[in-house]
A and B are shown apart, each in its own frame.
Chain A
Amino acid sequence: MKLGKLTLGIAIGLLAALGPAWAQQSRLDVVKNRGRLVCGVNAVLPGFGFLDQKTGKYTGFDVEFCRAVAAALFGDPDKVDYVPLDARVRFQAVQNGEVDVAFRNTTVTANRDGALGVDFLPVTFYDGQGVMVKKGRANSLRELQDATFCTTQGTTNEKNITDYIRAQRWRNAKVLTFEDGAKVMNAFLQGRCDAFTADKSQLVGYRATAPRPEELVILKETISKEPLAGFVRENDSRWRDALSWIVYATIQAEEYGITQKNLDQFLKSEVPEIRRFLGLEGTLGQDLGLPRDFVVRVIRAVGNYGEIYDRFFGAKSPFYIPRTGTLNALQRFGGLMYSPPFR
Chain B
Amino acid sequence: MQDFRKSYQSEMKKYPVSKALTRRALHRMKEEKEKRGRVKWIAVESIALVAVLSGGTVLAVQYNAFDEGPYRGHIPADQANISQVQENDELKVTMKGVAGDKWMAYLTFEVESPDGKPLMENSRYRRSNAARTAFQTATLNCEGENYTVTCLRIDDGSDPTRLTFEGSLFTHGKDLTGKKATLTLTNLKDDVTVWEDAGFQFDSLYELCEQAGLAGGDAFVRTGDFITYSDGTSAPSYMIKAGDKKIPFSSQFPNSYIDNVGIYEGGERLTSNGKRQVKWLYLSITPGNEEEAAALEKLTFQEIGSNRIMGEEQIQGTYPPGEKESSQDYQDKVAMQDGRVILGLSVHDETENGTATRDITENDLYRFRLVKNARSEEIIRKEGTWKFDFLMDFKTKERSVEVDQKVPVLDGEITVNHIYLSNFSLKISGIYSVDFMKKAPMKTEIIFQDGTEMDTGVKVGGGADLNTEKFEFEWMLPRGIDVDEVAAIRFFGTEFPLES
A-B complex is real? no
- Give the interface of A toward B (CB within 8 A): none
- Give the interface of B toward A (CB within 8 A): none
